[in-house]
Amino acid sequence: ELLRIGVIGTGAIGRDHMRRITNNLSGGVITAVTDVNTEAARGAVEALGIGANIYPDDVTLIGSGEVDAVLVTSWGPAHQKSVLAAIEAGLPVFCEKPLATTAEGCKSIVDAEVARDKRFVQVGFMRRYDKGYRQLKEAIDGGFIGEPLMIHCAHRNASVADSYTTDMAITDTLIHEIDVLQWLIGDEYRSAQVSFPKKSRNALGHLGDPQIVMLETAGGVIITAEIFVNCKFGYDIQCEVVGEEGLIRLPDVSSPAFRKGGVAGNALLMDWKDRFIDAYDVEIQDFIDNVRKNGMPQGPTAWDGFIAQVTADACVRSQQSGEREAIELGVKPELYSGMMQRQV
Ligand code: NAI
Ligand code: NAD
Ligand code: ISE
């Protein structure tokens, strides 16, 4: 039996996930779709030529009896309500990051799962499914570079929409590093501090860009992360882990080396949709497979979503205070214990 999936939010990534479920992956079918912009929902269904029904809102989609699982790909502030409604209805739910836009919102989702003593949620932290990050993790876990001491990374976008604000550099962009780095080294964050280098003239007046974030872990590892969302030259993700015995770096996406017009080079990707295209395929396939087999997902948890949001909140506080801000998670519920070291 195919897993009948309902999609809430048919913007850029909602349509991209609908495309991959329909054309590339196995075991799932899109049966229901909604968007606050009904025309967008209709357009997404028509563009794919699928027979999914269009619902007026998330609650009617969830209660339709037509879906076995839900995909939340609306904008961030709408996630919490849809995820809670799915859990309430007993439906597994894949939610794009952020799980909710506040730590309290994420905690309410954790509490809803704990109350039912069951996992329903997988958060869209797809980098854990990326081949390059997996290679890094395997090497680090195997002791190849000895104890990790420092991580240097960069998250660069060629440009962003005018509506992108200074805090979104953390809550929308750095959030991927926040999740993947603690998973990579099996450690927990303790503090965060944000600095603003000289501002790029390519950033709009309201936006602080670039930014440098320093994260410190319980184990004493220091991470420096550059976020630069108007870098112009491409979508560029870098990560270098320095250990006691050596260093290891995330592989760049391969592209043909060219020589032309007096230049020897390699083209860079420009669009985030392409950089992790394989990872998105693997994460959604993993969601479908686990829900079909076990009735629940096993990828990044609601607790992982909560960790990311608490950490992001500390970074945003530091953007405003300029100080080093503490990160305190509280006690991890039993439901999620033993999940920290798993592969994904
Ligand atoms: P988008 O703005 O293109 O699409 C959002 C869609 O959700 C819009 O069509 C909007 O009308 C709809 N929407 C908003 N609130 C809704 C609600 N309450 N009910 C139903 N539909 C609603 O945004 P985009 O780029 O597709 O991002 C969507 C989500 O995906 C965001 O949470 C974003 O952080 C995440 N995302 C994740 C990426 C990743 O690499 N994992 C990449 C891009 C986005
Ligand atoms: P988008 O603006 O293109 O799409 C959002 C869609 O959600 C819009 O169509 C909007 O009409 C709809 N929407 C908003 N509120 C809604 C609601 N309450 N009910 C139903 N639909 C609603 O945005 P996007 O780029 O597709 O991003 C969507 C989400 O995906 C965001 O949370 C974003 O952070 C996340 N995202 C993740 C990645 C990633 O790399 N994992 C990349 C891009 C976006
Ligand atoms: C977007 O929402 C993403 O998730 C992308 O991965 C990130 O690079 C971009 O900056 C975000 O806006």
Average pLDDT value for the chain: 96
179 in contact with ligand 3, CB cutoff 6 A: no
- Percent of the chain at pLDDT above 90? 97
Mean pLDDT, range 198-219, rounded to an integer:
97
Ligand 3 pocket member 173 (CB < 6 A): yes
Peptide bond into 297 cis (omega under 30): no
Q: Is the dihedral of CA 171, 172, 175, 177 positive or negative?
A: negative
SS3 content of the chain, % helix, strand, coil (to 5): 40, 20, 40
Binned at pLDDT 50, 70 and 90, residue 337 comes out as: confident
CA atoms within 13 A on the CB side of 89: 21
pLDDT digits (tens, 9 = 90+) for 295-305: 999 999 999 99
CA distance 233 to 243: 30
Residue 70 above 50 pLDDT? yes
Which residue puts its alpha carbon closest to atom 3 of ligand 3?
173
Torsion of CA 287, 289, 294, 296, to 10 degrees: 10
For the Cβ of 34 lying below 6 angstroms from any atom of ligand 3, the answer is no
- Residues 77/273, Cβ–Cβ less than 8 Å: no
CA distance 77 to 247: 38
Which whole number is the average pLDDT over 239-257?
A: 96
At residue 160, does pLDDT exceed 90? yes
pLDDT over 70 (residue 140): yes
What would the mean pLDDT of 145-149 be, rounded to a whole number? 98
Query: Using an 8 Å Cβ cutoff, are 173 and 188 in contact?
Result: no
130-273+308-326 shares the fold of 3-127+278-301? no
Closest alpha carbon to 193 in 325, 3, 330: 325
Q: For the chain, give every domain's residue range.
A: 3-127+278-301, 130-273+308-326
CATH of domain 130-273+308-326: 3.30.360.10
Structure tokens, 211: 């930014």
Whole-angstrom distance, CA of residue 158 vs CA of residue 272: 9
Q: Assess whether pLDDT exceeds 70 at residue 218.
A: yes
Is residue 74 lining ligand 1, measured as CB closer than 6 Å? Answer: yes
28: which 2 tokens? 């799932």
The better pLDDT of the pair 340, 183 is held by 183
**pLDDT above 70: residue 311:** yes
* Ligand 2 shell residues, CB under 6 Å: 8-14, 34-37, 40, 58, 73-76, 78, 96-97, 124, 126, 172, 272
- A 10 A CB-CB count for 267 gives 11
Nearest residue (by CA) to ligand 1, atom 25, is: 12
Residue 172 CB–ligand 3 contact under 6 Å: yes
Residue with CA nearest ligand 2 atom 9: 11
Please tell me the distance from the alpha carbon of residue 71 to that of residue 317, in angstroms, as a whole number: 31
pLDDT at res. 339: 56
75 Rama class: left (phi>0) / alpha (psi -120 to 50) / beta: beta
Measure 12 CA to ligand 1 centroid, in angstroms: 7
For residue 8, give the ligand 2 atom closest to its CA: 20
Class of domain 3-127+278-301: alpha beta
Kindly state the average pLDDT of the residues 227-249. 98
Which pLDDT does position 338 carry in this prediction? 66
- CB burial class (10 A; 0-12, 13-18, 19+) of residue 239? buried
Of 70-74, 244-248, 273-277, the one with minimum mean pLDDT is 273-277
Distances (CA, A) of 296 to 6, 139, 205, 292, 293: 16, 29, 45, 8, 8
Distance from Cα 12 to the centre of ligand 2, integer Å = 7
Q: How confident is the model at residue 342 (pLDDT cuts 50, 70, 90)?
A: very low
- Establish whether this prediction's ipTM goes over 0.85: no
Query: Is 270 in contact with 158 (CB distance < 8 Å)?
Result: yes
Q: Which ligand is nearest to the CA of 234?
A: 3
- How high is the pLDDT of residue 343? 46
3 CA from centroid of ligand 3 (Å): 28
